[in-house]
Amino acid sequence: MKNIRALFFYLLALIAIEKTNSQQNGYSVAAAPTNALTGEQIIARWETPPFSVNFFDWLGVFAVLASNGDWITWKYVTFRNGDTDFVLNQPGVYNFRYFNWDNTLFATSNEVRVEEPAADPTTIRNFPSAGATIVAFGDSLIAGEGATAGNDMVSVLSRLSGKAIVNVGTIGLSTSDAPLRLEADVLPKDPKIVILCLGGKDFIDRVAADITFNNLRQIINRIHEKGSIAILLGVQGGIFTDDFNLRWRQLFEETKCAYVPNILREIVGHFTYSSDLVHPNDKGYEIMAWRVLPVLLRLDPQLDLQSQLDGDNVVLSWYGFSGISYELLCYEELDRGWRTSKSYAGSNHVEKVIINRNDAPRLFWSLRLTHSF
C-alpha cells in the first residue's frame, strides 16, 4: 500500500512539473518544408522540457484559423523529443499543435503553406512549350509492369485527359542508361512535355544517391535544353528513405520542373493497389494517373471537351479545376451563333453533363473558360 501511495504522489509531482514547464514555454514544434505540395511528406519535430511526462501527448494538424477542437489529423508523440511525418492532400495554410494528455495546448509550429503541384504554371521552366508531343519516359512504372493491357498509368492518363501520350517506358531502366534512350527515343519526337519517372532500378542496385540524383538533374536539364517541360514523378513512401524525400524536393526546386511528389503513396505495400507489393496493379496505376492529371492539364491547358454516346443520351465531360468557371456553349444553326447553355464551377475532378438527344437533336457543343477567382 505504501508503494502505491508513493507512486501516486510521484505521478502527481511529475504532472505538476509538466504544468510548470508548459507555463515556462519549454515545448516547441517546428514543421518543414514551409512551402509544401499536396501529397508531399511534411516533417513535424517536437521538443519538450527535461522531466516532462508525455504519456498520451499528441500532435495535431490544423488549418491556421481553426480552433483547437477542429483538427484535420493527429498522432500520439513518442519520447520526449522526436519527429513524425504527415501528408496533406488539400491546399491551404496549416500549423501543427502539441497537446498534453488533458488537451492543454503546449506549443504551436510555424505555418506551412500547401499548394497543388504546378498551381502556377508560369513558374515552370519552358511553360508554355512549343513542342508537338507528350512523352512518358522512364522505368517499369511508365512501362506499366503489373498492369493488364491498356491499364498502365500512361494509357489511363491518356484516356482521362483526352491527349495522346507516347509511352517510352523500359522495365529495368536506370538513370545511368536513361540519357542514351532519351536522345534516341524521346527528344527526336519534339516533346512539349516529358513525364519522367526514374530511380527505382538505382535503388534496387544500391547506386549511391548522389549518382542517381546527379543523373536525374542532367536528364531534366537536357529536356529543358530542348525547350520541353519536364514533369518529375517522385517515388517514396516505403521505397526511398527520408534522405531521398529531401533530394526529390531539392531537385525540383533547382531545376524548376513540375513535380508530383510521392506518386506511390498508399499504393506500395497494399495488396488492393499493387501487383507484387512494389509495382501497382490496374487500380494502383489509375490512382497514379489521377495524381498526374491536374498537373498535365495545367501545363497543356487546351480545353478538351469529350463526348460519348450512352443510349439516347450524350455524355459531355471535361476536367474542371477548382477556382475556374466554365461555360458550356451550344448552337443549333450556324447563323444563330453560340449561346451559353450553363455555367459550371470547377472542383478538381471530371465534370459530366448528360444531354438527351431527343431534346437537342441538332445541337453542337463547345466549352470555354470564363474566369478564375
pLDDT per residue over 269-296, tens digit each? Answer: 888 998 887 899 999 999 999 999 989 9
Calculate mean pLDDT across residues 252-277: 91
pLDDT at 94: 98
Calculate mean pLDDT across residues 263-267: 91
**Out of 148-157, 247-256, 290-299, 321-330, least confident range:** 321-330
pLDDT at 9: 40
pLDDT in tens, 320-353: 766 667 777 776 655 455 667 778 777 767 788 8
pLDDT at 73: 97
What secondary structure, in 3-state letters, does the chain show?
CHHHHHHHHHHHHHHHHHHHHHHCCCCEEEEECCEEECCCEEEEEEECCCCCCCCCCEEEEEECCCCCCCCCEEEECCCCCEEEEEECCCCEEEEEEEECCCCCEEEECCCEEEECCCCCHHHCCCCCCCCCEEEEEECHHHHCCCCCCCCCHHHHHHHHHCCCCEEEECCCCCCCCHHHHHHHHHHHHCEEEEEEECCHHHHHCCCCHHHHHHHHHHHHHHHHHCCCEEEEECCCCCCCCHHHHHHHHHHHHHHCCEEECCCCCCCCCCCCCECCCCCECHHHHHHHHHHHHHHHHHHCCCCCCEEEEECCEEEEEEEECCCEEEEEEEECCHHHCCEEEEEEECCCEEEEEEEECCCCCCCEEEEEEEEEC
Closest of 373, 272, 271 to residue 326, by C-alpha:
373
Amino acid at 178: A
pLDDT at 5 over 60: no
pLDDT at 245: 80
pLDDT at 366 over 90: no
What is the band of 119 on the pLDDT scale with cuts at 50, 70, 90? confident
Calculate mean pLDDT across residues 76-84: 89
Could you check whether the bond before residue 33 is cis, i.e. omega within 30 degrees of 0?
Answer: yes
d(CA 263, CA 144): 14
Calculate mean pLDDT across residues 255-274: 91
pLDDT at 17: 43
d(CA 37, CA 41): 9
d(CA 153, CA 139): 12
Do residues 261 and 117 lie in contact, with contact meaning Cβ atoms separated by under 8 Å? yes
What is the band of 264 on the pLDDT scale with cuts at 50, 70, 90? very high
pLDDT at 229: 98
- Per-residue b/e over 219-254, b at no fewer than 16 CB within 10 Å? bbebbbebebbbbbbbbbbeebeeebbebbbebbee
C-alpha cell recorded at residue 84: 513524425
Amino acid at 204: I
d(CA 186, CA 135): 7
Answer left, alpha or beta for residue 139, where phi above 0 means left and psi between -120 and 50 means alpha: beta
pLDDT at 218 over 70: yes
pLDDT in tens, 53-67: 788 999 999 999 999
Q: Please give the residue that has the higher pLDDT: either 53 or 71.
A: 71
pLDDT at 181: 98
C-alpha cell recorded at residue 60: 495535431
**Arithmetic mean of pLDDT over the chain:** 85
pLDDT at 3: 55
pLDDT at 363 over 50: yes
Calculate mean pLDDT across residues 217-231: 98
Amino acid at 146: G
pLDDT at 257: 98
pLDDT at 336: 56
- Nearest 10 degrees: Cα torsion 340, 341, 346, 348: -130
Calculate mean pLDDT across residues 60-77: 97
Q: Please give the residue that has the higher pLDDT: either 329 or 371.
A: 329
Calculate mean pLDDT across residues 252-268: 94
pLDDT at 201 over 60: yes
